[in-house]
Amino acid sequence: MSAQPSPIYTRILLKLSGEALMGDQGFGIDPATITRIAQEIKGVNRLGVQIAIVVGGGNIFRGVALSSKGMDRASADYMGMLATVINALALQDALENQDVFTRVMTAIEMHEVAEPFIRRRATRHLEKNRVVIFAAGTGNPYFTTDSAAALRALEIRADAILKATKVDGIYTADPKTDETATMFERITYLDVIQRDLKVMDTSAISLCRERGVPIHVFNLNVHGNIARVVTGEKVGTIVCAADAP
C-alpha cells in the first residue's frame, strides 16, 4: 500500500460559498451534499491539517441582490450575515456527525448558538485540532465573505486560502460562454486585479497580496480535491506572488 502524501500546509482557511451547500437544488441546503463536504473535510483533518472555514449565505439570502431592488444595503447585508450562521450551524452538525470536533464562531454575538469570534480562542481551537467555522462575515455591512475569508486567514496566520468553486480553476474568460477560454495554472495577485477576473473581490485579493497568502481556486465537485490541494498536487489555479516558489 502506498504511503499517504504529507500535507504541505499546517493550517488552511477553506472558503465555501453558500451555493456549494445546495447541490443540484435551487435553494437551501442539500443533506447529501453537505455530508459529502463534511467527509472530505474530515479526511483532511485526519491528515493533521488545522482547518478553519468561512461559509457564505447565497443559498439562502443575497443581500446585494435585494439592495439592488431598493432595500437598504446595510439591512440586506446583515440579513445575509444571518444566513451564513444558518449554513455554519448546518455544516457543524454534518461535521459532528462525522465525529469531527467543531466550533462555530460568529462576528455578531449570539451566545445561545455560537461563540463570539476571539482571535486567540480561535487559534487555540485550531491547535486542539478542532475545525473552526467563521460565520457572519466580518460583522460589517458592505464587506463580502471573500473579504471575511482573507481577514480571518491573516488573523489566524493560515498558510493558504482554499477557495472552493464549481469550476476547475481561474480561466481567461467564462468557459461556459467562451470555448477559447483557457485555465491558468498559476497567476499573480496583480494580474487577477488588473484582468478583473472576479475570483475574489479586490479587497480580499489585496489583503492576501500584502501578506503573501496563496489562494488555491479549485472545483469542490471533484471528490478528493481538498486533500489534493493540501498535499501539493497541481489542482486548479494558485494565486500567488510572481516570485513565489
Tens digits of pLDDT across the chain (245 residues): 456 789 999 999 999 999 999 988 888 999 999 999 999 999 999 999 999 999 999 999 875 666 667 789 899 899 999 999 999 999 999 999 999 999 999 999 999 999 999 999 999 999 999 999 999 999 999 999 999 999 999 999 999 999 999 889 999 988 888 889 999 999 999 999 999 998 899 999 999 999 999 999 999 999 999 999 999 999 999 999 988 87
In total, how many domains does the chain have? 1
Q: State the CATH number of the domain containing residue 115.
A: 3.40.1160.10
Widest pairwise Cα distance in the chain: 60
What backbone torsions phi and psi does residue 25 show, to the nearest 5 degrees? -75, 160
The answer to whether residue 49 sits within a structural domain is yes
Buried b / exposed e across 7-35, counting CB within 10 Å, b at 16+?
bebebbbbbbbbbbbbbeeeeebbeebbe
Residue 183's DSSP bridge partners are 171
The pLDDT score that the predictor gives to residue 108 is 96
Domain containing 94 equals 11-165+201-236
What pLDDT is attached to residue 198?
A: 85
Answer yes or no: is 83 within a domain.
yes
146 in any annotated domain: yes
Domain assignment of residue 182, yes or no? no
Residue owning grid cell 480562542: 121
Residues pairing with 116 in the sheet = 106
N-term to C-term CA, the chain: 31
128 falls within a domain? yes
How far apart are alpha carbons 83 and 98 in whole angstroms?
23
Q: What is the pLDDT of residue 23?
A: 86
> Does residue 170 lie in a domain region?
no
Model-wide pTM > 0.75: yes
Domain membership of residue 154 (yes or no) is: yes
In whole angstroms, give the CA distance from residue 150 to residue 22. 24
Helices (H), 6-144: 31-46, 63-67, 73-96, 119-127
Q: Is there a domain that residue 93 lies in?
A: yes
